[in-house]
Structures are given as C-alpha cells and as structure tokens.
Amino acid sequence: MVFLAFILAFWEIQIEGKDGWAAKLPGWRIKKGWIAKLTGGRPLTGYHVFMTLFLIAILHLPLFFVPWSWQLECLLIGFYLGMLLVEDFLWFAFNPYYGIRSFRKRKIWWHKRWWGPVPDFYWILLVIATVLIYLGRTAI
C-alpha cells in the first residue's frame, strides 16, 4: 500500500505541481451544489473522478484470478482508502512547493476542516480503512 501511495504521490506532483486539487488542470469541475457539499467543499473535478475510477479498476484486478467475496471487497476497498490517505500526505511531504512545514490549514485551501494537525478526512479514512481491512482479513 505504501509503495503504491509513493508512486501515486509522485505522479500527482508531476501532474498538479504547486496547484493542488487539480486547480489549474484543464478538465471540468463542479464547484457548487450538493456535490460540493458531498466533497467537503472541494470542487469535484474530472481529473479526480477518472483517477478514482482508474485506481479502483486497477485494485480490482485480483478478481480475474480469485472469486469475488464480501471479505475480498472489504480488503480491496480498505486498501484503496488507506492508500489514498497515505498518498495525500506524501503529496505534501514530497511536493517541492509544500513540504512538511507547509502542511497547515492556512496554506492548503482545499482541506477546509482539520481535526488537530491533519485534515478531518484523514481520521475518517483511517477508521474506515482499518475496519474494512479487519473485515477482509479472512479473504487472503
């Protein structure tokens, strides 16, 4: 999971540069309405929709080799959510325009709500990923 998060973080740094949350990418974005509320006030971008679909498809490749089960699905989704959490942090850690010292609420406009030293969704993803991986532990 961490290895894939590293690759994805460096890939996104190359794509986005200093402009996080696909702010300067040419794709479509939805900034208002119920979708913006669903995404925590961040715009929904074509970049993020298709990146998410790509990653979920890649993570489901094992289903070509083993039968589907709820336990395996929990494991795969838990792995995906955990990878997203680690990747998001690594994006800041290794991005030359940010770094660990800039990992602060006032510097990062797209993470609107923070619980302590990290964005709120880190805690949410941590709990959900942990529960799903625990539920999927019998899949391997």
What SS3 string covers 97-112?
CCCHHHCCHHHCCCCC
What are the phi and psi torsion angles at 122 (to 5°)? -65, -45
pLDDT tens digits, 57-71: 999 999 999 999 999
Mean predicted confidence (pLDDT) in 87-99: 95
| Strand blocks (E) in 29-132 | 29-30, 44-45, 114-115, 118-119
- Looking at residue 140, its pLDDT comes to 66
Number of domain units in the chain: 1
- Looking at residue 91, its pLDDT comes to 96
Q: pLDDT-based confidence at 95, cuts 50/70/90?
A: very high
